[in-house]
């Protein structure tokens, strides 16, 4: 784990997630509750930015999440922006998706699709969500009662142990975080994240 985190300490919120996974006793249970796996080792792809400390992956297409350190300018990972790296996306493999881990978790509970999908507008996103909800009802992939209990338990744990802000509109939040980042970039980079000095 030290190789992945370098000079940084594991932030308190991530430590609580590690504790949650230990309580659940199974990475699959953790995934059921949060739609990603914790990745504490050196989980990287060719297009993972060198200033990203990876903490999780969704288990398909190489999609993973990490803390953006701005080449060491961030002193505490608890306050670091969160990025999503989608190695199979040729247009935009790396996107900033949250201001910090607590806000990432809040959006992740209900709208994790915003992190790794592109939508041309909020309307298109809402249409896609409606279609996914219909497909979930009609498909064999409906969650069982046990899976629903795991999800409820994970949500309860997060609400009791992590201060997550209320985010009324996740779509606008993710778009706003990205626009704010673009407005603060001092040095442009090929991956589009840029560097804030």
In this structure, what are the phi and psi dihedrals at residue 185, rounded to the nearest 5 degrees? -70, 130
CB atoms within 10 A of CB 42: 12
User: Over 80: is that where the pLDDT of 141 sits?
Assistant: no
Please give the pLDDT value at position 142.
67
Classify residue 93 as exposed, middle or buried by CB count within 10 Å of its CB (0-12, 13-18, 19+). Answer: buried
pLDDT (0 to 100) of residue 74: 92
More confident residue, 2 or 51: 51
Contacts made by residues 73-82, CB under 8 angstroms, sequence distance 24+: 73/195, 73/196, 73/197, 76/8, 76/11, 77/5, 77/8, 77/9, 77/10, 77/11, 77/14, 77/53, 77/101, 78/11, 78/12, 78/13, 80/11, 80/53, 81/177, 81/181
3-state secondary structure of 166: coil
**pLDDT more than 70, % of the chain:** 95
State the average pLDDT over residues 107-121: 91
Whole-angstrom Cα distance, residue 8 to residue 151? 30
pLDDT at 44: 87
What is the per-residue pLDDT across 44-75, written as a single tens digit (0 to 9) for each?
888 899 899 999 999 999 999 999 999 888 99
Q: Identify the residue with better confidence: 189 or 58.
A: 58
Going by pLDDT thresholds of 50, 70 and 90, the confidence category of residue 3 is low
Residue 91 has a pLDDT of 77
Segment 14-20 long-range contacts (CB within 8 Å, at least 24 positions apart): 14/38, 14/55, 14/77, 14/101, 16/161, 16/162, 20/154, 20/157, 20/158, 20/161
| Contact between residue 98 and residue 174 where contact means Cβ atoms under 8 Å apart | yes
pLDDT value at 20 more than 90: yes
Beta pairing, strands 37-38 & 82-85: unpaired
Q: pLDDT of 160-171, one tens digit each?
A: 999 999 999 999
User: pLDDT (tens digit, 9 = 90+) per residue, 70-106?
Assistant: 988 899 999 999 999 999 887 788 999 999 999 999 9
Parallel, antiparallel or unpaired: strands 64-68 and 94-98? unpaired
**pLDDT of residue 1 exceeding 70:** no
Tell me, what's the pLDDT at 170?
95
């Amino acid at each position: 784990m030290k190789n992945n985190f370098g000079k940084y300490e594991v932030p308190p919120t991530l430590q609580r997630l590690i504790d949650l996974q230990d309580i659940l006793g199974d990475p699959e249970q953790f995934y059921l509750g949060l739609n990603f796996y914790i990745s504490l080792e050196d989980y990287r792809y060719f297009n993972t930015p060198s200033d990203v400390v990876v903490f999780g992956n969704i288990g398909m297409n190489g999609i993973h999440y990490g803390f953006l350190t701005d080449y060491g300018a961030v002193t505490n990972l608890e306050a670091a922006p969160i990025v999503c790296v989608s190695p199979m996306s040729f247009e935009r493999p790396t996107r900033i998706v949250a201001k910090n881990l607590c806000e990432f978790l809040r959006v992740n509970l209900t709208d994790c699709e915003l992190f790794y999908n592109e939508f041309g507008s909020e309307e298109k996103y809402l249409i896609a969500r409606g279609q996914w909800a219909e497909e979930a009802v009609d498909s064999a992939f409906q969650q069982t009662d046990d899976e629903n209990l795991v999800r409820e338990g994970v949500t309860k744990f997060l609400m009791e142990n992590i201060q997550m802000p209320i985010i009324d509109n996740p779509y606008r939040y993710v778009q706003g975080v990205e626009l704010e980042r673009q407005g603060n970039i001092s040095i442009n980079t090929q991956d589009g994240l840029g560097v804030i000095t």
